[in-house]
Amino acid sequence: MCHVVLSMPILGLALFYFFPLQFAAPFYGLVVVLSLGMYFLVIKAMRQLVVSGPEGMIGATAEALQDFDSEGKVRYGGEIWDARSAEPVRKGEEVVITAVRGLQLIVSRNKSRGT
């Protein structure tokens, strides 16, 4: 689909073959303007931050479901995940996801809440 959008101005040149110049030129101008608008939207979408997958989880908060010193369970996004932490975590405490290793979250205590 992306290739079609990028090639719209080139494909639009066919208008000059099928229509007289006074009709083809305005339509081709419209194709060029629409193409530029689409290019702008594509570039804007490509610059957005990732919001899904492991990359989208890093920096998010999860809730500890049990007390644990190194490994335990946390809830993130309505799902229960295995978690590992370098520091003790208490049940109900918010933790920050710092990395994702397979199906295990690496978490740290949420410093911004004063815990």
Helices (H) and strands (E) in the chain, counts: 5, 5
Average pLDDT over residues 104-108: 95
> Could you tell me if 63 and 37 lie in one domain?
no
Domain that holds residue 26: 2-46
> Could you tell me if 75 and 106 lie in one domain?
yes
> Could you tell me if 66 and 97 lie in one domain?
yes
**Residue 60 sits in a domain of what CATH number?**
2.40.50.140
> Could you tell me if 67 and 39 lie in one domain?
no
DSSP 75: E
Number of domains into which the chain is organized: 2
pLDDT at 115: 45
> Could you tell me if 59 and 102 lie in one domain?
yes
Confidence at 48, pLDDT banded by 50, 70, 90: confident
Percent of the chain clearing pLDDT 90 (strictly above): 47
Residue 85 · residue 62 · CB < 8 Å: no
DSSP 39: H
